[in-house]
Amino acid sequence: MLFCCLFSVGCRRVRPAAPPQLVVWAWERPEDLRFLPQDVPIAVQTGFVEIAGDGFVARGRRFPLLTNAAPRIAVVHIQIDERDPPDWTPDLRRRVAAAVLHYALVLPVPEVQIDFEVRRSQRNILVDVLHDVRAGLPKPLSLSMTALASWCQEGWLDHATADEIVPMLFRMGRGDPSLRTRIEAGGDFLDPRCRHALALSADEPIARAPAGRRVYLFDPRSWTRSDFQTIRQQVERWR
Amino acid sequence: MSRLSGRAIAAVVLVTLTGRAAGSGGPPPLPDYVTAAATAPVDQAALAAGRLGIMKGHAPAAILYLDWRLLNGLRVDAASTASLATPCCGRSQNDESAWLAARRAVPGASTDLYYVATDREGPNYTAIPTCFPDAFVTATATLQARIARYEAKSPDVRAWLAAQDAVFDACSKSGVTLPVLAANAPAWLRADHGYQEAALALYDARLDEAERDFVAIGRDRGSPWQPLALYLQARVIQRRALDRPGADNFARAHEAIAKLESAPAGTYGKGEVERMKQVLDYHEQPAALLARLDRALNAPGVPGDVAVKFKDYQSLSATAPQMPDAADWIATLDPKDRAAGLAHARARWQASHKTAWLLAALSLAMPADADAGALVDDAARLPASDPGWLTARYHRLRLTIARRPPAELRAEVDTILARRDLTPSDRNIFLAVRAQSASSLADFAAHALRRPYCTGAGRGCVDGDWPAGDGMLGRQGHGYVGFGGDARAIIDRLPLAQRLTLARDPSLPREQRLDLSLTNYARAVLLQDDAAIDQTARALTGLLPQVRRDWLAIVATPPGPAKRFAEIVVMAKIPSLRTDLADYARPEGSEPSFAGYWVDWLRVPVGGKAPAPSFPPAGAYMPQGFWDGRDSDAGPDEADLPCAGKCGPGTFALHMPGFAAPLTAAALRERSHFFTDATIGPDARGARSLWEDALAFVTAHPNDPRAAETLYRLIRVARWGGNHEHLGRRAFMLLHSRYTGSVWAKRSPFYYDS
């Protein structure tokens, strides 16, 4: 019989949690992140891929990112054109993977992230892409993936060949807010692979989240120093 | 946590209806009731036919430009509508795909090449497009021609392909060189090689070399590439002007383009002249180009290449000292400051008397604005023949719904709904207005359902962000329907008695009656209304037969602790159960796969009262609304439910229909008998938890056949729902001390405490 005591108040009193490591997302729009402290890594979107029917559209970043430090993570955003559902053939799979790998490797970064939200019926596509990208990435590079928070309560992420899963605690829609409430109350994600990182939005602060995790920060508009300082203070108040 | 538990508490937030719709040809559509993007054929057809419908102030700029044309009596046609409605940007891989397939026909060609990158690294982490689709089209056609003439296995064809691979390599890399040609290469291969050398130099930005090569090709009458040379020279010279702007380089570029323009008809690239001129002017004479584009875009007929023209027009307008009228209008529809935008739109309306500016002002106005009354009067005077009439009617209804006689308002909306030319979006919007002015509960039910925007099997028509929320759709006839956001908000503001009546309405699909009955059940249990509990439990035996035995047990048990226990047992099986449609999710599939998370079911002690009972805010019912269950609508709430936030900054605040408005006080009184997530706080200490009641019952009735299973379920509730006073630990201890060896104990090796 095993008794689990997770996130008890007593434990935290004995060993205060270190501030979480922050990562700032530089989404595809003009971004000036020269105000960021040196210890805050940048995850920059370097590629955009949209799958439609038996083809896809791919392109690199169109908008400048100004920064004093080289980004640490290259993010490739993938999406499915809802007007033209994918015809996911082996050939299309190979071509999409090759395009994603290209944009994942355009910068000399140690980490790559795939941002790909899919409907339930499209999960196999995400799993395939992750598998192929993992297989194509040079060994030292780590592969991260973003995840809808609800995915972390299910079992299918076992099939996702990523080194890091980043549940997003924002824009969660109906149903998921209860999960957010649960996280704020000291709970955690069911899938242990989701317990190493999480993501927040600057316009949806969260009162508390599990300590010791890498925290990705999203801003619905181009970042400002003020936005960053506000959300940083919020995160550092988590106890 | 066991795998079984993992499955049982799986949260389903995406499209949860897949299982239910099995056999119906795919997943149900996304619950999108209003679109502004005109990506669906029905919207494009309406625009092309000159039917503006309700102008959506938050539509993409290209769609607003089409609206502008219609409002100003300018023609719109199907081709221009399609080209402007198609979202930009990116490069389709179809041409590249054809190239990759063609090259695999050559024996010995690498077969693991699946993608050719076509942009080069630019400044500040940008990527600059280098190679365009026509390069792949030309290469594919050339390779197929060479194979047809010299055979795929020919070493010369293989050499040609190696060179072409190098050319495409240069699309994304610098320093690429062509393989050296064999001394005995045939003339055709030498000619092709010369062209490939020039193309590679162009991609590599070695412009002097590229120009020299293309000039040489132009002089070579024996080269099959000679007809292309004039155009490609112009391209190189144009690029030099853009890379190194200066009077001399611009003059050379104009000269080269003029030479191409004066070439005989049919000369390769002649059709590109206008576009090339526009590119030059964009950089050299932006003000003059903007004026020219403004004239072209406001001409009676749609200009050729309208999408390209409009893109440059928008881009140049953004930085112009004074915006042209159309660009100003488009920018005004989505201003940073609504009041300033409204003042500007109204001033332009008064100065110009153009309907477009009246609609802009209307879409920005709110009922409390000083200008609103005058705008409403102006809207009323717009003739029915005006393309902006429907938009004006919508905003007039929006701005006056709170003060106009409901009967008059209903008559007006019914007349509009009787029209057959409404797009699905516009019909859903007017249905929302009609539901909010309903005369009775039955009248409300008749207008509460909306058809999701696109119902084609597997095909969505979703503009904007990917909708994260699952829908609560039901089947009606051969299609799907769901409650509009406004309808759900109104239902949640009704007392239990009216909700019970609505749940019995046979005009509603089974799925909607299920959603209503379940939320009614949760309310009835919290209110300890045995008659309502039995009524809903009976209905739910048919609506949610997965737990039929539990519903029957409730009905069969007389009032008292045993009945209360039966009521809670089923609540422990439906984690997504809520009192409101705002945060409820429909249980799907078999009972173990019911998804979601339990909430604290807390009743106010007898004689007590919950603090400040409130309704969920209207924003909780928006398609992608975020609600954590704790915000109330105590403050002003201007969520634009009828138009899903797409009609402009002037929002349509939730309006309770006349029959329902007097009932909200009773609905709030009901809420004072129980806590919700919005009202739980320190004052909840004296509240009675239904989960605690269940644990107490099991403790007192060790032989109840449901006891062990209930303890197992309480452990899960404590982990994913409320865990007051270490509920999970206590349930775990009792389960493992009293029912050791039971299947329920085996399924519960852990508990989680906090």
pLDDT tens readout for residues A105-158: 999 999 999 999 888 778 899 999 999 999 999 989 999 999 988 888 777 898
Cβ–Cβ below 8 Å for B93 and A99:
yes
pLDDT at residue B675 in the model: 81
Cβ–Cβ below 8 Å for B90 and A59:
yes
Q: Express each pLDDT in B97-153 by its tens digit.
A: 899 999 999 999 988 899 999 999 999 999 998 998 889 999 999 999 999 999 999
Pairwise CA distance, residues B751 & B716, whole Å: 8
pLDDT mean over B35-54: 92
Our CA-based measurement puts residue B20 at a distance from the nearest CA of chain A, in whole angstroms, of 14
Query: Given a cut of 60, is residue B89 above it in pLDDT?
Result: no
Pair of tokens at residue B115: 């993608």
In chain B, residues with a C-beta closer than 8 Å to the C-beta of A175 are 11-13, 469-470, 576, 583, 585, 595-596
Asked whether the beta carbons of B133 and B92 are under 8 A apart, the reply is yes
The HSE-up count of residue A83 (CA atoms within 13 Å, CB side) is 16
Residue of B nearest to A95 (CA): B114
Supply the Cα-derived Rg of chain B in whole angstroms.
Answer: 34
Does A4 contact chain B (CB < 8 Å)? yes
pLDDT at residue B632 in the model: 42
Q: Per mean pLDDT, which range of B319-323, B348-352, B469-473, B733-737 is the poorest?
A: B469-473
Q: What part of A 85-124 touches B (C-beta under 8 Å)?
A: 85, 91, 94-95, 97-99, 102, 106-107, 117, 119-121
Residue B104, number of CB atoms within 10 A of its CB: 13
List Cα–Cα distances, B711 to A114, A239, B469, B565, in angstroms: 41, 32, 32, 12
Pairwise CA distance, residues B97 & B451, whole Å: 38
The HSE-up count of residue B262 (CA atoms within 13 Å, CB side) is 6
Cβ–Cβ below 8 Å for B90 and A97:
no
Task: Locate all alpha helices (DSSP H) within B688-739, ordered by sequence.
Answer: 690-700, 707-720, 727-738
Query: Given a cut of 50, is residue B468 above it in pLDDT?
Result: no
Our CA-based measurement puts residue B432 at a distance from the nearest CA of chain A, in whole angstroms, of 21
pLDDT at residue A234 in the model: 87
In chain B, residues with a C-beta closer than 8 Å to the C-beta of A8 are 753-754
Cβ–Cβ below 8 Å for A171 and B626:
yes
Q: Does B682 or B54 have the greater pLDDT score? A: B54
ipTM: 0.90
Pairwise CA distance, residues B647 & B54, whole Å: 8
Cα of B109 vs its chain's centroid, Å:
43
Number of H helices, E strands in chain B: 33, 10
In chain A, residues with a C-beta closer than 8 Å to the C-beta of B172 are 102
pLDDT at residue A19 in the model: 63
Cβ–Cβ below 8 Å for A83 and B597:
no
Asked whether the beta carbons of B55 and B395 are under 8 A apart, the reply is no
Our CA-based measurement puts residue B704 at a distance from the nearest CA of chain A, in whole angstroms, of 25
In SS3 terms, B270-312 reads as HHHHHHHHHHHHHHHCHHHHHHHHHHHHCCCCCCCCHHHHHHH
pLDDT band of residue B514 (cuts 50, 70, 90) is very high
* B332-358 CB burial, b ≥16 within 10 A, e <16: bbbbeebeebbbbbbebbeeeebbbbb
Pairwise CA distance, residues B317 & B143, whole Å: 44
Cβ–Cβ below 8 Å for B125 and A107:
yes
Counting beta carbons within 10 angstroms of the beta carbon of residue A141, is it exposed (0 to 12), middle (13 to 18) or buried (19 or more)?
A: middle
pLDDT mean over B703-713: 97
Cβ–Cβ below 8 Å for A155 and B625:
no
In chain A, residues with a C-beta closer than 8 Å to the C-beta of B10 are 153-155
A with B: how many residue pairs have Cβ under 8 Å apart? 195
Direct distance between the N- and C-terminal alpha carbons of chain B, in angstroms, rounded to an integer: 16
Direct distance between the N- and C-terminal alpha carbons of chain A, in angstroms, rounded to an integer: 30
Percent of chain B past pLDDT 90, that is, above it, reads: 72
In chain B, residues with a C-beta closer than 8 Å to the C-beta of A46 are 125, 127
Mean pLDDT over each residue of chain B, to the nearest integer:
88
| A148: nearest CB among B13, B15, B465 | B13
| A8: nearest CB among B14, B595, B754 | B754
Q: Express each pLDDT in B348-381 by its tens digit.
A: 999 999 999 999 999 999 999 998 999 999 999 9
Pairwise CA distance, residues B605 & B675, whole Å: 11
Pairwise CA distance, residues A2 & B488, whole Å: 45
pLDDT at residue B313 in the model: 96
The crossing angle, in degrees rounded to 10, of helices B707-720 and B561-571 is 50
List the Cα angle A138/A144/A146 in 5-degree steps: 150
In chain A, residues with a C-beta closer than 8 Å to the C-beta of B92 are 55, 57
pLDDT at residue A1 in the model: 31
pLDDT at residue B16 in the model: 30
Q: State whether residue A11 is helix, strand or coil.
A: helix
**Which residues neighbour B426 within 8 Å (Cβ) at sequence distance 6 or greater?**
B53, B54, B390
Pairwise CA distance, residues B190 & B196, whole Å: 10
pLDDT band of residue B480 (cuts 50, 70, 90) is confident
Residue of A nearest to B736 (CA): A1
Query: Given a cut of 60, is residue B25 above it in pLDDT?
Result: no
Task: Locate all alpha helices (DSSP H) within B528-620, ordered by sequence.
Answer: 530-543, 548-556, 561-571
Asked whether the beta carbons of A92 and B101 are under 8 A apart, the reply is no
DSSP B575-589: TT--SSTTT-----S
* A43-72 CB burial, b ≥16 within 10 A, e <16: bbbbbbbbbbebbbbbbbbbebbebeeebe
In chain A, residues with a C-beta closer than 8 Å to the C-beta of B599 are 178
Cβ–Cβ below 8 Å for A48 and B90:
yes
Q: Per mean pLDDT, which range of B304-318, B599-613, B642-656, B712-726 is the poorest?
A: B599-613
Our CA-based measurement puts residue B6 at a distance from the nearest CA of chain A, in whole angstroms, of 6
pLDDT at residue A32 in the model: 94
Cβ–Cβ below 8 Å for B468 and A117:
yes
Cα of B385 vs its chain's centroid, Å:
32
pLDDT band of residue B682 (cuts 50, 70, 90) is low
Cβ–Cβ below 8 Å for B459 and A84:
yes
Amino acid (one-letter) located at B547: V
Q: Per mean pLDDT, which range of A149-153, B256-260, B416-420 is the poorest?
A: A149-153
Q: Which has the closest alpha carbon to B728: B691, B684, B703, B693?
A: B691
Does A175 contact chain B (CB < 8 Å)? yes
pLDDT band of residue B465 (cuts 50, 70, 90) is very low
